[in-house]
Amino acid sequence: MATSEQINHLTALIKDRHNIKQKLFSELSKAIIGQEKMLEHLTIALLANGHILLEGIPGLAKTLAIKSLAQAIQAKFSRIQFTPDLLPADVIGTLIYNQQRAEFVVRKGPIFANFVLADEINRAPAKVQSALLEAMQERQITIGDTTYKLEEPFLVLATQNPIEQEGTYQLPEAQVDRFLLKVVVTYPTMKEEQMIIRQNVEGLTSPTINPVLSIHEILEARKLVRQIYMDEKVEQYILQLVFATREPDKYGLDKLKPVIAYGASPRGSISLALASKAQAFMNGRGYVTPEDIKSIAHSVLRHRIGLSYEAEAENITSENVVDEILNKVSMP
């Protein structure tokens, strides 16, 4: 139980580092017009030490946003274009025989970076996804008999196209659950798109994104995020939201029981707590409010709720399910 003095002290520390958000947004806005929700969620994932999945049709600046974020932080970035013929060795690396030294040497793959852009992640088969799974969960890679720890920060930032299904594979539930957030990227407004046209038609060169943050600043901010106070009533609110995805009938949501095949795992509760703490940091507070949880709930839960055939037949989405739960479960 934190005292009011401790919370005020933490809030003051957070306000000192609140310029992290301003620095990032100011720099990223050189290349990205609009898409504030996407940029905010990328920053939340960075602060909460979680991977993020961006879903949207081509041309919505998903890849550009991730690449720009990496450029704005003095960190190592690599991009992997996922294709059906991709092999695990193309991602994690492999052992190569050195004839001169008469021994096998390790050639590390592109996964050995701070920011890994997994572009069109659903185009690679299960064998590649399983190789990625160890890196996402354990923050380590095994090549041959040797295990290598990945440097912090390590984030997988994945994109996928929800429309084109030709030559794609459905991501395993175990892997999807390891993404802290799944963000649905939407079209820009008409005014934003007019600015995009002008920037691309008039601009002779792409805007240069300069490094504005260091890895040390990000790691220090993460420590503060972990310290943010969460009241027991707020914890109970998180638990009620997650348990309502598993046992909707106990929360007066009987109509959701036939449409939910399975609810969010305990990883969903952890992710909701961490993401809401990062949201509180973004808002310059040393404590979490129910509004923080509500604002991030869709992005944390939408990919953790399995829908039944009945839901698909009635065109009920996980978005609808989360909406119903948020409307029904009372805020503390």
Query: 190 with 259, same domain?
Result: no
Domain tally for the chain? 2
pLDDT above 90: residue 272: yes
Query: 215 with 252, same domain?
Result: no
User: Is the alpha carbon torsion for 176, 178, 179, 182 positive or negative?
Assistant: positive
Query: 183 with 257, same domain?
Result: no
Could you report the per-residue pLDDT of 232-250, keeping only the tens digit for each?
A: 999 999 999 999 999 999 9
Does this model's pTM top 0.85? Answer: yes
And the tokens for 292?
């923080």
What CATH number did the domain enclosing 158 receive? 3.40.50.300
Distance between CA atoms of residues 205 and 311, nearest Å: 48
Mean pLDDT over residues 75-81, rounded? 90
Query: 121 with 266, same domain?
Result: no
Q: What is the enclosing helix (H) or strand (E) of 78? A: strand 77-81
And the tokens for 72?
């704005």
Provide the pLDDT for residue 167. 64
Alpha-helical segments (H) within the chain? 4-16, 19-28, 36-47, 62-72, 88-92, 126-138, 173-176, 190-202, 215-227, 232-246, 266-282, 290-301, 309-313, 318-328
- Exposed, middle or buried: residue 58 (CB in 10 Å: 0-12, 13-18, 19+)? exposed
pLDDT above 80: residue 1: no
Mean pLDDT over residues 127-142, rounded? 88
Percent pLDDT > 90 in the chain is 42
Percent pLDDT > 70 in the chain is 97
pLDDT above 80: residue 68: yes
| Domain-embedded: residue 10 | no
Query: 105 with 170, same domain?
Result: yes
Q: What is the enclosing helix (H) or strand (E) of 140? A: strand 140-143
Provide the pLDDT for residue 204. 55
Distance between CA atoms of residues 244 and 328, nearest Å: 9
The SS3 of residue 32 is coil
Could you report the per-residue pLDDT of 170-209, keeping only the tens digit for each?
A: 888 888 899 999 999 888 889 988 988 888 887 656 778 8
Could you report the per-residue pLDDT of 298-317, keeping only the tens digit for each?
A: 999 999 999 989 888 888 88
